[in-house]
Amino acid sequence: MSGGVERGDADDGTTDPDGGFRKPPPPDDRLWRHPSEVAGRTPSLAPPSTRARSPWPVALVSGLLGSVLTLGLVVATGGLDRTARSVVVRESVASVASAPVGDGGGRDDDVVRIAEQTSPAIARIEVSGERGGIGSGVMFRDDGHLLTNAHVVDGARSIKVVLADGSEHEGRLLGSDSLTDVAVIKIDRPEPFPVAVLGTAADLQVGQATVAIGSPLGLIGGSSVTTGVVSALGRRVPGREGPLLDMIQTDAAIAPGSSGGALLDGTGAVIGITTAIAVSEAGYQGLAFATPIDIARSVAEDVMATGRVAHVWLGIEGRDLDATSARDTGVAGGAVVVEAIDGGPAEEAGLLPGDIVVEVAGKEVSSMSALVIALRAREPGEVIDLGVVRGGERRTVGVELGTRPPES
């Protein structure tokens, strides 16, 4: 009944054996919906302690609102002010595990500090086009480069960026990547813009503090700040171009119109770009998801350098190794090669249908999703060793990774 996610992943050229992602069923037959299908339904934004716990499947909802009044179900974080020119990029800083902010033990001051520090770097993004709406953006370079979600700017004919000081700027889309739901917008002015400090999601821990800052519903008066914790890591949620992998889950309240905003750790460093919220037939479930900043920054670097994103390509169709086969094979899990695509890196390296990939460059992988995530840290042209089980025997296969073809 739910909008399920197909196995395999478009990011590295892996696809479902059935031939790609299936067209979703009609809205009444699934639990996830685009805002245009649920206009008028208002999600519950009750505090975390009062939200109902529900086993309903996760629903990915676009943070793009057709208008301020079209609430529906949404995603992310957004609007404030910043202007840039000098090309100052705040260097990445390690995430520091800390107690939840705003817990009554003096942490309220931390939230105030983080809000004052980061809010000027959060912008409201107003899009005109076939799917016009409102989202948010994070200024990460003082020359006017902002990170946001690809779905926020999809089909945009014009983009207006409203900063925290109320100033309005014409934005131009430098590039977007629907596979990771990340886009880069550029605005201009002579003076430098305030920028957010970019952290890393690599060392996050479940339970550590989070602060979300966005521009919910496009409301006038600046950004909105909410607090919570990292609820889970490595989540897989439905996306428009296939599953979004390795997502950060948080219980910090995320409202419609906040797509493309900032999820920060307890020090105020950006650890993710808010992307989706979970809903069920009962309404908002108090769960939100953010794209790790490491992925967003990598996409931005590609876009700024070449105008497009180069995804690593292994060239296989695959599936998860089932529990029974894993037990019989004596491994914890793995990715089963269903087909090695003709002329692809895997086929040229000698991978065969039935091979089980259990390791990438010495790092264990237990599923297709884990394989995709491991490959995201690599570059096209890089040669890596894959740990493969074939016929019950373990072996090492060297593969030169390729660049994902445009339509694969």
Tell me, rounded to whole angstroms, the distance of Cα 198 from its chain centroid: 15
Among 62, 136, 224, 259, the one annotated catalytic: 259
Among 9, 177, 181, 265, the one annotated catalytic: 181
Compute φ and ψ for 28, nearest 5 degrees: -70, -15
3-state SS record for the chain: CCCCCCCCCHHHCCECCCCCCCCCCCHHHCCCCCHHHCCCCCCCCCCHHHCCCCCCCCCCCCCCCCCCCCCCCCCCCCCCCCCCCCCCECCCCCCCCCCCCCCCCCCHHHHHHHHHHHHHHEEEEEEEECCCEEEEEEEEECCCEEEECHHHHCCEEEEEEECCCCCEEEEEEEEEECCCCEEEEECCCCCCCCCCCECCCCCCCCCCEEEEEECHHHCCCCCEEEEEEEEEEEEEECCECECEEEEEEECCCCCCCCCCCEEEECCCCEEEEEEEEEEECCEEEEEEEEEEHHHHHHHHHHHHHHCCCCCEECCEEEEECCHHHHHHHCCCCCEEEEEECCCCHHHHHCCCCCCEEEEECCEECCCHHHHHHHHHCCCCCCEEEEEEEECCEEEEEEEECEECCCCC
Please indicate whether residue 311 is annotated as part of the active site.
no
Residue 394, beta-bridge partner list: 389
Q: Are 186 and 307 in contact (CB under 8 A)?
A: no
Please indicate whether residue 34 is annotated as part of the active site.
no
Please indicate whether residue 151 is annotated as part of the active site.
yes
Among 119, 143, 145, 151, the one annotated catalytic: 151
The residues carrying an active-site annotation are 151, 181, 259
